[in-house]
Amino acid sequence: MYELESFMAELERKNPAQPEFIEAAREVVSSVIDVVNDNPKYLKNKILDRITEPDRVYMFKVEWEDDEGNIQVNKGYRVQFNNAIGPYKGGLRFHASVTLGGLKFLGFEQTFKNSLTTLPMGGGKGGSDFSPKGKSDAEILRFCRSFMTELQKYIGPDTDVPAGDVGVGSREIGFLYGQYKRIRGENTGVLTGKGLTFGGSVIRPEATGFGTMYFADNMLKKRGDTMKGKRIAISGFGNVAWGAAMKATELGAKVVTISGPDGYILDEEGVSTSEKWAYMVALRNSNNDVVKPYAEKFGAKFFPGKKPWEEKVDMAFPCAIQNELNGDDAEKLIKNGVKYVVETSNMGCTLDAVEKLQKARVGFAPGKAANAGGVAVSGLEMTQNAEHLPWTKEEVDNKLKDIMKSIHEACVKEGEEEDGYINYVKGANIAGFRKVADAMCDQGY
Ligand code: GLU
């Protein structure tokens, strides 16, 4: 039998100074521990010990030259967490905050998220402490080439398929793919999020943002509610926030905030026109990591150093980075009458925030369910690459909608409580866990 606190104490001893990994593991283990203790097969297979240990971790040096001719050194990583149900799959993050512990948390989460998508994908994550902020395109190109020169040894279309994440968008994926092809001479589906001219899928750039809104739409329908007329706070201004703002607008809601490390924008008119969406993309591509210029351009308000969670909204979508919405933020949102918080960044809310939101019976969805649309369309990109045939926008969008609906159903099935409240955290963890755990048991240790 497993006991939560002693299991977590041992996990922490084995993984010192990795607080995000421990936080993510605690959330999953506490959701599934009863299921495990009730199942002799899981106990015999030591499933919790095995599922919390990555299969392997690659760490490597990335040397590159900046525009002034100075040699720069960064750390590169690929965490291959679990391939029980399919090839390792998950993004690459380029951000100054990247550490091994952070990537282990992301690879662990990815394992359950990918399982929820219904597609055969294992979990992985990688990246570097390289920050694209303030770098020229030529520097980013040189960094990407150097990074891929090492990474290509460990990946392949049937073994491990990286994609984008924070700091890695279509530009970086293009540079990385170019270098992979230069070294290996192969046109394969080794990366997803590729450009449309070289094997990318339609809707992949928008998929995470679209998917989170489809998921939210299902949550609202379950409560007999609708997205129409909802006032929404979004954080971030990158690829995910961009897709979310577009789909929310299409569904009849109004997005009033976006944010960056410098503060947040309040746009009472709504982040709701093609011009504003195009400007978000331009801001991201400027490599400056600030949102303030949006306020100047569109006459919106800017609150320096603040987070959007102090605004009075019906729904909140953290779309930037882990732990960006804490217990205090949750209290403010609850006080202001928030009805739904849909975590769109990976572990965007602290455990404390999640507890407060659930206690107040706010509809809360965890990232591994709500943001799974991105990796789901990556899975569809892999299928298109394998059959050497591109699909239409309608086909991909319909499949994405169906996948988000089925993830929602899985969460409801495993997470509905006696009073009818849906514990989406528990539901997503149990549903995602079962498939991976069963596959591991069936394949033997
Ligand atoms: N980085 C995204 C995620 O967190 C997408 C991963 C992928 O497409 O492989 O799910």
**What confidence category does residue 42 fall into, taking pLDDT thresholds of 50, 70 and 90?**
very high
Q: Which CATH number fits domain 207-365: 3.40.640.10, 1.10.287.130, 3.40.50.720, 1.10.3720.10?
A: 3.40.50.720
| Structure confidence by residue, pLDDT tens digits, 297-335 | 999 999 999 999 999 999 999 999 999 999 999 999 999
Catalytic residue check, 125 = yes
Q: How far apart are CA 388 and CA 245, in angstroms?
A: 32
Please state the atom number of ligand 1 nearest to the C-alpha of residue 93: 1
44 CA from centroid of ligand 1 (Å): 32
Ligand 1 neighbour 307 (Cβ under 6 A): no
**What confidence category does residue 161 fall into, taking pLDDT thresholds of 50, 70 and 90?**
very high
Query: Do the domains spanning 4-186 and 207-365 agree at the CATH topology level?
Result: yes
Please state the atom number of ligand 1 nearest to the C-alpha of residue 165: 1
Residue 317, phi then psi, degrees to nearest 5: -125, 90
Nearest to 104 by CA among 346, 267, 294: 346
166 CA from centroid of ligand 1 (Å): 10
Tell which one of 20, 89, 159, 165 to mutate to probe ligand 1, the residue whose CB is within 8 A of the most ligand atoms.
165
Residue type, 209: G
pLDDT for the residue numbered 275? 98
- Residue 272 is given by DSSP the state -
**Order of all β-strands in the sheet with 123-128:** 56-65, 71-82, 123-128, 88-94, 160-163
Please, what's the b/e burial string for 90-102 (b: 16 or more CB within 10 A of its CB; e: otherwise)? bbbbbbeebbbbb
Ligand 1 neighbour 145 (Cβ under 6 A): no
Tell the residue number behind the tokens 């504003």, with chain if given.
276
pLDDT for the residue numbered 183? 98
Q: How far apart are CA 75 and CA 96, in angstroms?
A: 10
- Residue-range domain boundaries for the chain: 4-186, 207-365
| Structure confidence by residue, pLDDT tens digits, 349-373 | 999 999 999 999 999 999 999 999 9
Tell which one of 378, 381, 383, 384 to mutate to probe ligand 1, the residue whose CB is within 8 A of the most ligand atoms.
378
Tell the residue number behind the tokens 């694209």, with chain if given.
132
User: Counting beta carbons within 10 angstroms of the beta carbon of residue 218, is it exposed (0 to 12), middle (13 to 18) or buried (19 or more)?
Assistant: buried
Query: CB-hemisphere CA count at 13 Å for 132?
Result: 25
Q: Are 150 and 127 in contact (CB under 8 A)?
A: no
Q: Which two tokens stand for residue 294?
A: 């949006």
- Rounded to a whole number of angstroms, the distance between the first and last alpha carbons of the chain is 19
165 CA from centroid of ligand 1 (Å): 6
Average pLDDT (239-262) is: 98
| Structure confidence by residue, pLDDT tens digits, 101-113 | 999 999 999 999 9
pLDDT averaged over every residue in the chain: 98
Helix %, strand %, coil % of the chain (to 5): 50, 15, 35
**Order of all β-strands in the sheet with 263-266:** 301-304, 263-266, 254-260, 231-234, 315-317, 340-342, 363-365
Distances (CA, A) of 260 to 200, 237, 271, 277: 28, 6, 15, 15
Q: Any idea which architecture 4-186 has in CATH?
A: 3-Layer(aba) Sandwich (3.40)
